[in-house]
Amino acid sequence: METRMQICWERALPTAQAQTGLEPAIGLEPAIGLEPAIGLEPAISLEPSGTRPGVARPSTRRCVVRETGAWMVRIALVAVCAIGAVGTVGGPHAAAVERVVFRPYPDSQETLDVVGEALVRVPSGGMLLMADDGQLWTVQPERLISRKSDNQPLVPIDHHEAAQRLLAELPAGFQVHHTANYVICHNTPEEYVSWVGGLFEQIHQGFYTYWKNKGRKLPKAEFPLVAVVFADQKSFAEYARPEVGELVNSVIGYYHLQTNRMTTYYLKDNERRVATLVHEAVHQLAYNSGLQRRMADNPYWVSEGLATYFESPDLNSVRGWRNIGAINTVNLARFNAYLRKRPRDSLTTLIRDDSRFRNPAEATFAYAEAWALNYFLLRTREEQYLKYLDELAEGPLMSEPDPRARVQAFQDAFETDLETLDRQFLLYMNRYGRRR
């Protein structure tokens, strides 16, 4: 199956957590009407290596691939360098601007000069830096060359500057397509990128309208919303391999939490490209609107279930997408199939940690149940669901998620125990049991 991926912040294993405090990994999500990703493996090695010339990027560490019918499903893991034991953690918008020159890789003399704000500082001098273009950089103290700070607020770059930086990074032949909210660098026909830009704007409007109608006036993105669209899979693969690894030939698009960008390529299959673009655009919007926070504890069942909730293609519409929250027929069918063997503690295992999403034998049904749970909660416990999202976004950055604390936070937010809610959940979803 061809699907898409998103870089999801994951906590390091206990032994690594004590040393680093942070481990990001790439996760793949399913498309409506398509096969889902199969699983995630935690990355152990935290030092990045292998970059495009002149561009520092995290490198792929491990991959899981499985064939399912005619489609390829896969996930990849990306590790970003660790910064040492977590020290002080600032708010989402620190007051001081840092200008930091550092070597991002231990095996390279390449240096980066980054202007941003320190989200996390450690006593040894390392930091997690939010750059003025929205990218995240980890700075190892032993590779820090110079650092200057002032008391001025960070000023994000504008669309023009974002475009110039992208063009300097990308291969020759790229152009920039601007929309009201997006900067799209591409080497595709203008007709195609215009369609992509129009779809992005439709998703943007739909996303903000949806939450506004639920009483949430989300702030617009602080940084430019960036997408890179390649004309073909070959050029996409050459660019994306440092971020995706050898699985790049089966990836059709992804949102990258470190770069804050979407990357994809021209695809003729309309259903797959619509599902991919909508899914990744929703991830990008969620993390840039404050609905979710990149360094907070974002359970996979929330992130993936929410994106698939928005994702449903509508090929009868002009742009191939129109309805938010339409039934995901593939995940519904899988969920119904799962019910025949669903263990009694399934809801508990889905909520308490992300292990089912990492396990190739369980991930298909984990994604299906995540979609179903989000569907159920948004329709029956909307106010509590929104409160729960707020609590997740306001949680501590880069903290080790405790399984018992996750379960307790869920029960507190929805004001019930898991056993009672599980019965209500199954009763509600049974009404769709005959749908295909």
State residue 50's pLDDT score.
43
The answer as to whether 419 is a domain residue is yes
The answer as to whether 66 is a domain residue is no
Angle at 208 between CA 185 and CA 271, to 5 degrees: 55
Map tokens 């971020």 to a residue.
243
Residue 52 DSSP code: B
The answer as to whether 46 is a domain residue is no
Torsion of CA 400, 404, 406, 408, to 10 degrees: -140
Distance CA(197)–CA(183), nearest Å, equals 9
Distance CA(79)–CA(12), nearest Å, equals 10
State residue 406's pLDDT score.
96
Distance CA(74)–CA(252), nearest Å, equals 11
Distance CA(184)–CA(193), nearest Å, equals 8
* Mean pLDDT to the nearest integer, 370-392: 96
* Mean pLDDT to the nearest integer, 116-145: 91
- Among 131, 150, 169, the domain boundary falls at 150
Distance CA(110)–CA(203), nearest Å, equals 38
Reference 324, options 295, 287, 282; nearest CA is 282
Distance CA(176)–CA(411), nearest Å, equals 47
Cβ neighbours for 260, distance < 8 A, ≥ 6 positions apart: 133, 134, 135, 136, 223, 226, 284, 287, 288
We report the CATH number of the domain holding residue 131 as 2.30.30
The answer as to whether 30 is a domain residue is no
Q: How deeply is 189 buried, as exposed, middle or buried, from its count of CB atoms within 10 A (0-12, 13-18, 19+)? A: exposed
Number of domains present in the structure of the chain: 2
Range list of H helices, 214-296 = 233-244, 270-288
Confidence of residue 295 (pLDDT cuts 50, 70, 90): confident
Do residues 295 and 128 lie in contact, with contact meaning Cβ atoms separated by under 8 Å?
yes
What percentage of the chain exceeds 90 in pLDDT?
55
Map tokens 């669903």 to a residue.
342
CA distances from 137 to 96, 131, 187, 239 (A): 16, 7, 28, 20
The answer as to whether 401 is a domain residue is yes
* Mean pLDDT to the nearest integer, 353-357: 94
Pairing of strands 97-102, 88-89: unpaired
Map tokens 């390392």 to a residue.
126
Other residues' Cβ atoms within 10 Å of the Cβ of residue 326: 16
Residues 216-231 have pLDDT tens digits of 999 999 999 999 999 9
Residue 206: its H or E element: helix 190-213
Distance CA(133)–CA(270), nearest Å, equals 31
Distance CA(24)–CA(7), nearest Å, equals 7
Q: 377 is in which domain, residue-wise? A: 329-432
Mean pLDDT is lowest, of 307-321, 377-391, 419-433, for 307-321
CA distances from 20 to 23, 80, 92, 305, 398 (A): 8, 11, 20, 29, 10
For the chain, the distance separating the N- and C-terminal CA atoms, rounded to the nearest angstrom, is 20
Other residues' Cβ atoms within 10 Å of the Cβ of residue 339: 17
Q: Provide the mean pLDDT of the chain.
A: 78
Reference 227, options 173, 177, 263, 189; nearest CA is 263
Is it the case that residue 15 has pLDDT exceeding 50?
Answer: no
- Among 133, 150, 167, the domain boundary falls at 150
The answer as to whether 293 is a domain residue is no
Reference 255, options 276, 224, 232; nearest CA is 276
CB contact burial 397-427 (16+ within 10 A = b; e otherwise): bbbebeeeebbebbeebbeeebeebbeebbe
Single-letter residue type at 258: Q
- Among 134, 150, 166, the domain boundary falls at 150
Residues 151-178 have pLDDT tens digits of 888 999 999 999 999 999 999 999 999 9
Reference 319, options 213, 411, 197; nearest CA is 197
Is it the case that residue 323 has pLDDT exceeding 80?
Answer: no
Is 271 or 129 the better-scoring residue by pLDDT?
Answer: 129
The answer as to whether 346 is a domain residue is yes
Residues 56-97 have pLDDT tens digits of 343 322 222 222 222 222 222 232 333 344 444 444 444 589
State residue 308's pLDDT score.
87
H and E: helices and strands count for the chain:
13, 15
The answer as to whether 349 is a domain residue is yes
